[in-house]
């Protein structure tokens, strides 16, 4: 059993997957970037390595703060601030493990350097 008491892979009653699960993924729009959370800094702030090569100090805005829980290594959608765009940003979305795999397969995360 996975966390929360739900099975990670759901099967049909016969024990076989009848069709592949359809994954809905939010794609970055103009002015938005993908990033990987490097370090949790406390007070709803974290250090995020973005696909443009910059390391940003990002915060979780109040309207989504209570709805998402973010850990180190999560893939997130970041919107850089208008001021200090290369240094700071807001986290808009956290991708699930399956969504992050889909982004990797489609080439959205190829600019995220492994260090």
Three-class secondary structure of residue 95 per DSSP: coil
Interatomic CA distance for residues 5 and 15, integer angstroms: 19
DSSP code of residue 82: S
Per-residue pLDDT tens over the stretch 22-56: 678 888 889 999 999 999 998 889 999 999 889 99
Residue 64: is its pLDDT beyond 90?
no
Residues 6+ apart with CB under 8 A from 6: none
Output the pLDDT for position 42.
85
% residues pLDDT > 70 (the chain)? 78
**Ordered structural domains, the chain, with CATH:** 25-106 (2.40.50.140)
Averaged confidence pLDDT in the chain? 82
pLDDT interval class at 106 (50, 70, 90):
confident
């Amino acid at each position: 059993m996975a966390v929360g008491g739900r099975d990670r892979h759901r099967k049909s009653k016969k024990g076989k997957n009848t069709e592949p699960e359809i994954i809905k993924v939010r794609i970055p729009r103009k002015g938005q970037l993908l990033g990987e959370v490097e370090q949790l800094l406390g007070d709803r702030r974290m250090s995020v390595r973005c696909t443009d090569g910059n390391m940003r100090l990002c915060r979780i805005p109040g309207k989504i703060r209570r709805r998402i829980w973010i850990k180190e290594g999560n893939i997130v959608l970041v919107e850089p601030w208008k001021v200090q765009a290369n240094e700071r940003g807001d986290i808009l979305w956290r991708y699930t493990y399956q969504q992050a795999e889909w982004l990797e397969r489609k080439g959205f995360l190829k600019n995220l350097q492994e260090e």
